[in-house]
Amino acid sequence: MFEDVAPAPTADPVDLAGGRKGTYVTALDPETGQHDEKFICDDYVLITDGRVYLDSRQVHDNGTVVLTVKRRSAKEGIPQ
């Protein structure tokens, strides 16, 4: 489910973030029961569903990231 994999969590997430706590994000597909978990700290996770998808990702020299999220038309349907 998640495209990139974070480092395996330690018993104390503070160790991974230089004194800052992070967040565990879990995504669950209720139809299949498939789930995935990711630990993030000073990072982001974009979760889309149905016809909504990540169209592009731009990373600028100053570190700014621009995510373009789009929605497919009803005619295009939901990708399998």
Place of tokens 């992070």: 22
Cβ count within 10 A of residue 53: 15
> In this structure, are strands 23-28 and 65-71 parallel, antiparallel, or unpaired?
unpaired
pLDDT digits 0-9 by tens, 63-72: 999 999 999 8
The answer to whether the predicted template modeling score (pTM) of the entire model surpasses 0.85 is no
Calculate the CA 59 to chain-centre distance: 16
pLDDT digits 0-9 by tens, 12-58: 555 554 666 788 899 998 999 999 998 888 888 898 888 899 999 99
pLDDT of residue 6: 46
pLDDT of 2 higher than 70? no
Closest-CA residue to 22 (of 3, 4, 9): 9
CB 59 within 8 A of CB 68: no
